[in-house]
Structure 1
Amino acid sequence: MLDTTEGITFDISQEALDAHGQPCAVIDATAAAVMLGRAFRDADGLTDDAGLGLAPAVQAALGEALAAAAPATRVMLDTDAGKRVYDLFLLPPDRRGHRLVLASDRTMDSGLRNALTESRARYKDLVEISSEHAWEVDADGAFSFVAPQGLLGYAPRRVIGLPAGELLDPERHTDPINPFATPVPLEGRDVWVRAGDGSLCCLEVTAVPLFDADNRWAGARGVCRDVTEQRRREQEMAEARARERVFGRIVRLFQREVKPENMIRAAASAITHGMAATGCQIFGIAAPLAKVVQHPTFQQETAFGRIGSDRDADRLIAALESAGRDAVVGDLVGDRHLIGTLCMHGDRINGAIVVWREADRPDFGQAERRLLAGIAGTVGVALEQLYSHRVLVEVSRTDGLTGLLNRRAFYEDMQRRVRRLARGERKAALMYVDLDNFKAVNDTWGHETGDKVLRDVADLLRANTRSTDMVARLGGDEFAVWLDDADETVAVKRAEVFLAASAILKQHSARPDLPLMLSIGIAVYDPVNREDMNEFVSRADGAMYAIKRKGKGSYAVARQPGRRAP
């Protein structure tokens, strides 16, 4: 038993120390070990290497505590298992100056505190250097904390107290949940906001709601990072893929189509489907191969789907001409959205595209406008192919000297018209026109005068026929006229007009006795007779030669098939 100066008695036998579960020891006034309990001896780092005395660091710490009359001290020890932390508690001494020392292992508590302190410092450093923006809002939905680097160009002092909803871009944010004041956890939610410089930015927000002790919403906290450039690149890639799909569809359709007209129709279909539109019009221009066209005249080449009125399309095209060559112009007309752009080939405007969409669907966005601008170049190439094809067709069907239809084109068109007449009751007339005494003009005045005479005859015939009629030069000094919806009376009157107008040709005659005149043979087609093409042509030709044999400068009408000559 140990009687202390305060009258307390401790059982300090070795057996008692060994039986105590907590590390304990008895030291003298110099902090040297008098007795060590088993738990004290077993504790990591408290004893010396022999296990018979105190570890030097422990004895030194206890000596300092005795000198300072401190009731406790803490010691940190380096052991083979790592750092250990002990709190040493000194009980009051007995009459001989011996003290009971109790040791408590605080290694885990200290480690946790140190880890927490280090973690907080690390988090603070990471937040400050991170590209992500940390924030918190209070129960009123206003920012109560923002990381030191601020938020999107806003200094922390400008953001603290600001309602979180004021940062949202109203045109882009349609979600009913404000991610800065979310009542539910969010991860990776995109939100478009206005930055401090007024620019539009996209933030990817991850947030959790906060609740008070009564489970009432008390705010939210989270992090967000600027993904504007990433989203813009993704949008550009999506637009590029959309363009590739539409271009690919157009190219595939072009490859399947031989005729340029069909290519243009295929392009209108592909544009309509590729832009989720309801209709598309493609316009060409008159005189498309002219090098410089100050004010081109647009005419529709094809249309696909449901479109609006020609007047609305014409007004949009006029706006395009005013806006410039690369512009994409949009409008809302009645129950339809429409956008359009000009088509170019080289530095020339050679057409336009107008795309339609119902007004109850979203308007065309910037991505679709850029898509249309890109497509316009491909359509411009297709239009140029169409124009070139038409020029080739026109050249192949036209007499080079007079600009009239040539023999092949005239007979092809006449065959189609005869087939059409055979299905009805209307009549038509074929007139063969031959120049009398023309060879003498060439022999006397030369071929230059002869060519002028041929052009004058072409002008004469064109000026005295309707747009529905056909005029052709069959070759040499032979011409042909097809009169649509004409019986014998109409044909004879037209022949008399030709003869009267031909008086002007006499000024180019070789000699007075060889006057330039016209000999005209007329054949009337009546579907009742079921006459074939060859017979019909032969009757006109025969009538023309009959009048030449009778004296020239007049006309003759061929008998109808099966009718005897008078």
Structure 2
Amino acid sequence: MSLFKSLGRSKLVLDESDICAIYVDKRKALVAQSDTSESLVSLWEEGYPAFLDAYEQVSVSQEPQEFRLADERHIKCWIVVTPYEGGAFFVARETTLADQMTEALIESRAMLKGLLDSAVDFSFEVDPLGRFKFVSPAVAFGEKTESWIGKDAHSVFWPKDNAPGRSPFTQQVQKHMDGVSTEIAGIKRYASFAVEPVIDEEGKIVAVRGSCRDVTERIEAERKTRLDNLRLSVQQRITQILNSTENSQDLLDNASKELIQVMRADLVWSVLKKYKEGLVPASICGDLDEELDLDSIWESLSGADSGVHEINIDSRGHLVIQLESAGEDVGMVIISRDTTISPWSDLEKELLADIADVLTAAFGKAKLIDRLYRLSSKDELTDLLNRRAMREGVEARLKHQSRTKQSGCMVFIDLDHFKEVNDTLGHNAGDDAICLVAEKMQSIIRPCDLAGRMGGDEFVLWIEDVDEETAAVKARELIDYMPSIREKINGAHLRLGASIGICKSVPGVDLAFDVLAARADAALYDVKKTGKNDIAFAGAPEEA
């Protein structure tokens, strides 16, 4: 039975069939086609390689050939090539729909298997005492679960007796608990629990059953995202502070306040490491009053690895990070809170380590500002602070004390019979005496205290967080040193001495340098009137 009505590029007629076919003669000329063969015609005329290869194989072997076809339109066909009178028939059967259904079935089965595999890692049932009655599968979280039967579930999931307050194994209502921290076989994981109680006919809970799955990867990915976002936010805010603040004290205060908010801290110390003064607490921010031995903390970190260290003192935990720039110690940041209530988390430690660079930049700028400020604020003769710098420094301390409720003492010093030195030994000896007084003042104060020259033979000390008695001890040390100064300038026969007035600040009341200085000066004047070379104390503000 002939398949053709005719040859010579006539349409191929197949007995009442819509078969897709073409015929190519031995000269490779397309001479016939069916009504539905447009796609085959196009592929042959375009010289589709698979068609040409199949034609050559059929021509040589005179055996039928078959191959798969998938074009760019995602149409899939099964092509059969049959030899005929020196040429070849190409017959196509479209399999697009069947293939798509097969692929969808395979994909859905894979998705279902993945869903079932990931839905539950561990199923269980515990008795009212929390002991495992049933566990499945045989291996979960890398451990053989058979040995868990009869064991307290808490001892398996939290061997260090650190189970959460709301345990999934003791729930009395149906509950879903996500991101529960566990430590099975010493490995920290996060699990998601779905649990429900088993209730008997009398309404009594006889067991708790449920399932859990390991969600560690998801929790850690979310945790990393939160850390990255928080770190970026803190870096941006501290960088903004860094770029917009020109005062070193405000810069460190604002950066410390940012750390208090982000780290949920009670106190933050920003400690600068200076060449001459050593460790200086440039900023102390927070609501609590706590003293730290900064030198001991610094020494305890000597030789330790870089990064964040936790130091516990009494009931408080301190996170400490030393800052370094170009191989030079810049200082350290100490962050403190009551860790018996809220221990430091790994996330918080990582955050502090991640923002170390921007903190180092802030400290570096603060040191540079401080250095430039000192160059413009020093008394030329003594290297003490000049009057302007002394006023600014004291008023910054007074502002800080209004928050801490701690008092400091202003010590006003006026040299007695100084004119006698100039008149007897000359102005060079007078300058030497001034410098010797300045050196002694520097030797009796701490890095956190201030020393300045008001002009001529008048000096002032600001002694941080001390009472009048402590300030008086330091003042008496200066008075007792005056005979030594007379000897050093070859004026032992002279009467050079010092009259001193001491004024204790009142937190939240004394905020202006000039007001406090006037009270100290009034006390000093009382000494001058009653014999000189002695100490007097200023009264309270209302008395003054």
After TM superposition, the score normalised by the length of structure 2 is 0.49
The structure with higher relative contact order (CA 8 Å, sep 6+) is 2
Q: State the structure with more CA Rg.
A: 1
Q: Give the alignment's TM-score, normalised by structure 1.
A: 0.47
